[in-house]
A and B are shown apart, each in its own frame.
Chain A
Amino acid sequence: MSDRPTQTVPPTAFSLANALERIAREDAREEIYFDPRRGTLVARPANSGPPCDDALPATEMAREGFFGRVTEARW
Protein backbone atom coordinates (compact mmCIF):
# COMPACT_ATOMS: atom_id res chain seq x y z
CA MET A 1 0.00 0.00 0.00
CA SER A 2 1.38 3.34 -0.99
CA ASP A 3 2.22 5.79 1.74
CA ARG A 4 1.77 8.68 -0.65
CA PRO A 5 -0.60 11.18 0.95
CA THR A 6 -4.00 11.33 -0.65
CA GLN A 7 -4.34 14.43 -2.71
CA THR A 8 -7.57 16.28 -2.76
CA VAL A 9 -8.35 16.87 -6.38
CA PRO A 10 -10.32 20.04 -6.71
CA PRO A 11 -13.40 19.84 -8.83
CA THR A 12 -12.71 20.91 -12.37
CA ALA A 13 -12.37 24.63 -12.13
CA PHE A 14 -14.26 26.57 -14.75
CA SER A 15 -13.14 30.09 -14.26
CA LEU A 16 -15.97 32.53 -14.53
CA ALA A 17 -13.66 35.32 -15.66
CA ASN A 18 -12.23 33.12 -18.39
CA ALA A 19 -15.73 32.15 -19.48
CA LEU A 20 -16.72 35.82 -19.66
CA GLU A 21 -13.64 36.57 -21.74
CA ARG A 22 -14.49 33.82 -24.18
CA ILE A 23 -18.12 34.93 -24.46
CA ALA A 24 -16.91 38.47 -25.16
CA ARG A 25 -14.67 37.09 -27.92
CA GLU A 26 -17.56 34.94 -29.21
CA ASP A 27 -15.52 31.84 -28.48
CA ALA A 28 -17.66 30.51 -25.66
CA ARG A 29 -17.13 26.99 -24.41
CA GLU A 30 -19.24 27.48 -21.30
CA GLU A 31 -22.64 28.61 -20.20
CA ILE A 32 -23.02 30.94 -17.24
CA TYR A 33 -25.70 30.41 -14.62
CA PHE A 34 -26.73 32.33 -11.53
CA ASP A 35 -27.31 30.12 -8.51
CA PRO A 36 -29.87 32.03 -6.42
CA ARG A 37 -29.30 29.85 -3.35
CA ARG A 38 -25.65 30.88 -3.09
CA GLY A 39 -25.89 34.16 -4.98
CA THR A 40 -22.98 33.08 -7.15
CA LEU A 41 -22.39 33.00 -10.87
CA VAL A 42 -21.18 29.66 -12.17
CA ALA A 43 -19.56 28.77 -15.49
CA ARG A 44 -20.41 25.30 -16.75
CA PRO A 45 -19.26 23.47 -19.85
CA ALA A 46 -21.63 23.92 -22.75
CA ASN A 47 -24.41 21.33 -22.83
CA SER A 48 -23.73 20.13 -19.28
CA GLY A 49 -26.82 21.81 -17.92
CA PRO A 50 -27.40 24.07 -14.94
CA PRO A 51 -25.67 23.50 -11.59
CA CYS A 52 -29.02 23.13 -9.79
CA ASP A 53 -32.71 23.06 -10.63
CA ASP A 54 -33.38 26.71 -9.87
CA ALA A 55 -30.23 28.10 -11.51
CA LEU A 56 -30.88 30.90 -13.96
CA PRO A 57 -29.18 31.17 -17.34
CA ALA A 58 -27.11 34.35 -17.62
CA THR A 59 -25.13 33.65 -20.79
CA GLU A 60 -27.61 35.56 -22.93
CA MET A 61 -27.11 38.74 -20.90
CA ALA A 62 -23.33 38.45 -21.24
CA ARG A 63 -23.54 37.57 -24.91
CA GLU A 64 -25.78 40.45 -25.94
CA GLY A 65 -23.11 42.81 -24.68
CA PHE A 66 -22.96 46.02 -22.71
CA PHE A 67 -23.37 49.58 -23.81
CA GLY A 68 -19.92 50.66 -24.93
CA ARG A 69 -20.34 53.63 -27.26
CA VAL A 70 -19.46 56.43 -24.89
CA THR A 71 -17.12 59.36 -25.10
CA GLU A 72 -13.89 58.84 -23.21
CA ALA A 73 -13.08 62.49 -22.90
CA ARG A 74 -12.24 62.11 -19.23
CA TRP A 75 -10.51 58.72 -19.42
Chain B
Amino acid sequence: MRIRLQERLAIEERLLQRHFGPGVRVQEPGRPDLRGVVGRLTSNGGTVYTFWMPLAAFPHQAPALYVVDPALVTPDGRALPECSHRMHTRDRNEHGHPQICHYHDAFWREDITLFKVVMKLRLWIEAYEAYRRTGKPISNYLGEMEESEP
Protein backbone atom coordinates (compact mmCIF):
# COMPACT_ATOMS: atom_id res chain seq x y z
CA MET B 1 0.00 0.00 0.00
CA ARG B 2 1.39 3.37 -0.95
CA ILE B 3 0.96 6.01 1.72
CA ARG B 4 0.62 9.69 1.02
CA LEU B 5 3.70 11.82 1.51
CA GLN B 6 2.20 13.84 4.34
CA GLU B 7 1.27 10.67 6.21
CA ARG B 8 4.79 9.39 5.74
CA LEU B 9 6.29 12.66 6.94
CA ALA B 10 4.16 12.49 10.09
CA ILE B 11 5.50 8.97 10.74
CA GLU B 12 9.05 10.10 9.96
CA GLU B 13 8.72 13.01 12.38
CA ARG B 14 7.46 10.76 15.18
CA LEU B 15 10.38 8.41 14.61
CA LEU B 16 12.89 11.27 14.57
CA GLN B 17 11.49 12.85 17.72
CA ARG B 18 11.31 9.56 19.56
CA HIS B 19 15.02 8.99 19.06
CA PHE B 20 16.53 12.46 18.65
CA GLY B 21 14.11 14.46 20.79
CA PRO B 22 11.60 17.24 20.16
CA GLY B 23 14.29 19.49 18.68
CA VAL B 24 13.95 17.67 15.36
CA ARG B 25 10.80 18.41 13.36
CA VAL B 26 9.32 18.40 9.89
CA GLN B 27 8.61 21.92 8.72
CA GLU B 28 5.85 22.90 6.25
CA PRO B 29 4.98 19.35 5.13
CA GLY B 30 2.32 20.64 2.75
CA ARG B 31 4.54 23.08 0.85
CA PRO B 32 7.14 21.46 -1.41
CA ASP B 33 9.19 24.64 -1.70
CA LEU B 34 9.54 25.00 2.08
CA ARG B 35 9.22 21.39 3.18
CA GLY B 36 12.14 20.04 5.20
CA VAL B 37 13.51 18.74 8.46
CA VAL B 38 15.11 21.17 10.84
CA GLY B 39 16.77 19.99 14.01
CA ARG B 40 19.49 20.12 16.59
CA LEU B 41 21.92 17.36 17.48
CA THR B 42 24.39 17.46 20.34
CA SER B 43 27.77 15.81 19.84
CA ASN B 44 29.40 13.64 22.48
CA GLY B 45 31.58 16.67 23.22
CA GLY B 46 28.53 18.80 23.96
CA THR B 47 28.44 21.04 20.88
CA VAL B 48 24.97 21.65 19.49
CA TYR B 49 24.67 21.45 15.70
CA THR B 50 21.66 22.79 13.83
CA PHE B 51 20.86 21.15 10.51
CA TRP B 52 18.47 21.73 7.64
CA MET B 53 17.31 19.03 5.24
CA PRO B 54 15.07 20.30 2.43
CA LEU B 55 12.61 17.66 1.23
CA ALA B 56 11.31 19.13 -2.03
CA ALA B 57 12.06 15.94 -3.98
CA PHE B 58 11.80 13.46 -1.13
CA PRO B 59 11.43 10.48 -1.26
CA HIS B 60 12.24 10.27 -4.97
CA GLN B 61 15.72 11.74 -4.50
CA ALA B 62 18.17 11.68 -1.61
CA PRO B 63 17.57 14.84 0.41
CA ALA B 64 20.28 17.46 0.65
CA LEU B 65 21.61 17.96 4.15
CA TYR B 66 23.27 21.06 5.58
CA VAL B 67 24.78 21.94 8.95
CA VAL B 68 23.76 25.58 9.33
CA ASP B 69 25.23 26.24 12.76
CA PRO B 70 27.96 26.39 13.92
CA ALA B 71 30.04 27.27 10.89
CA LEU B 72 32.06 24.22 9.86
CA VAL B 73 35.78 24.91 9.90
CA THR B 74 39.16 23.25 9.52
CA PRO B 75 41.44 22.85 12.55
CA ASP B 76 43.14 26.14 11.61
CA GLY B 77 39.86 28.00 11.34
CA ARG B 78 39.26 28.13 7.58
CA ALA B 79 35.89 27.23 6.11
CA LEU B 80 35.46 23.49 5.64
CA PRO B 81 36.01 22.74 1.95
CA GLU B 82 33.02 22.04 -0.22
CA CYS B 83 32.95 19.28 -2.85
CA SER B 84 35.49 17.32 -0.87
CA HIS B 85 35.83 13.59 -1.08
CA ARG B 86 37.92 13.59 2.09
CA MET B 87 35.41 15.64 4.08
CA HIS B 88 32.30 14.00 2.59
CA THR B 89 30.94 17.37 1.55
CA ARG B 90 29.27 18.65 -1.61
CA ASP B 91 28.48 22.13 -2.96
CA ARG B 92 27.57 24.99 -0.67
CA ASN B 93 24.02 26.31 -0.73
CA GLU B 94 23.15 29.94 -1.33
CA HIS B 95 23.80 30.66 2.36
CA GLY B 96 27.33 29.26 2.25
CA HIS B 97 26.66 26.01 4.12
CA PRO B 98 28.38 22.96 2.64
CA GLN B 99 26.15 20.02 1.87
CA ILE B 100 26.97 16.88 3.86
CA CYS B 101 27.23 13.65 1.85
CA HIS B 102 25.23 10.76 3.19
CA TYR B 103 23.70 8.54 0.49
CA HIS B 104 24.91 8.53 -3.09
CA ASP B 105 22.00 9.17 -5.42
CA ALA B 106 22.67 5.80 -7.05
CA PHE B 107 22.16 4.03 -3.72
CA TRP B 108 19.16 6.03 -2.60
CA ARG B 109 15.88 4.16 -2.29
CA GLU B 110 12.48 5.64 -1.55
CA ASP B 111 12.07 3.42 1.51
CA ILE B 112 15.15 4.79 3.30
CA THR B 113 13.90 6.62 6.35
CA LEU B 114 14.96 10.08 7.41
CA PHE B 115 16.00 8.51 10.70
CA LYS B 116 18.86 6.78 8.89
CA VAL B 117 19.90 10.02 7.21
CA VAL B 118 19.95 11.87 10.53
CA MET B 119 21.86 9.03 12.20
CA LYS B 120 24.43 9.32 9.43
CA LEU B 121 24.68 13.03 10.14
CA ARG B 122 25.18 12.23 13.82
CA LEU B 123 28.08 9.96 12.85
CA TRP B 124 29.45 12.60 10.47
CA ILE B 125 29.42 15.14 13.30
CA GLU B 126 31.48 12.87 15.50
CA ALA B 127 33.93 12.28 12.64
CA TYR B 128 34.08 16.04 12.03
CA GLU B 129 34.97 16.64 15.68
CA ALA B 130 37.61 13.92 15.49
CA TYR B 131 38.99 15.67 12.39
CA ARG B 132 39.13 18.94 14.32
CA ARG B 133 41.08 17.21 17.12
CA THR B 134 43.47 15.14 15.02
CA GLY B 135 43.64 16.72 11.58
CA LYS B 136 42.86 13.35 10.00
CA PRO B 137 40.25 13.82 7.26
CA ILE B 138 36.68 12.76 7.86
CA SER B 139 37.11 9.99 5.28
CA ASN B 140 39.54 8.42 7.75
CA TYR B 141 36.63 7.88 10.12
CA LEU B 142 33.80 7.28 7.69
CA GLY B 143 34.08 4.82 4.84
CA GLU B 144 32.85 5.43 1.37
CA MET B 145 29.87 3.86 -0.35
CA GLU B 146 31.20 1.22 -2.70
CA GLU B 147 30.32 1.36 -6.37
CA SER B 148 29.44 -2.32 -6.24
CA GLU B 149 26.68 -1.83 -3.67
CA PRO B 150 23.17 -2.45 -4.95
List residues of chain A with CB within 8 A of the CB of B20: 36, 39
Interface residues of A (CB under 8 A from B): 16-17, 20-21, 23-26, 32, 34, 36, 39-41, 56, 58, 61-75
* Contact A36–B102 (Cβ < 8 Å): no
List residues of chain A with CB within 8 A of the CB of B97: none
- Sort chain B's interface into a size bin: 35 or more
Counting residue pairs across A and B whose Cβ atoms lie within 8 Å, the total is: 112
Question: Interface majority SS on B: helix, strand, loop or mixed?
Answer: mixed
List residues of chain A with CB within 8 A of the CB of B149: 64-65
Interface flags for B92-114 (1: CB within 8 Å of A; 0: not) read 00000000011110010000000
8 Å CB contact of A17 from B41, B124, B130: B130
8 Å CB contact of A72 from B19, B83, B123: B83
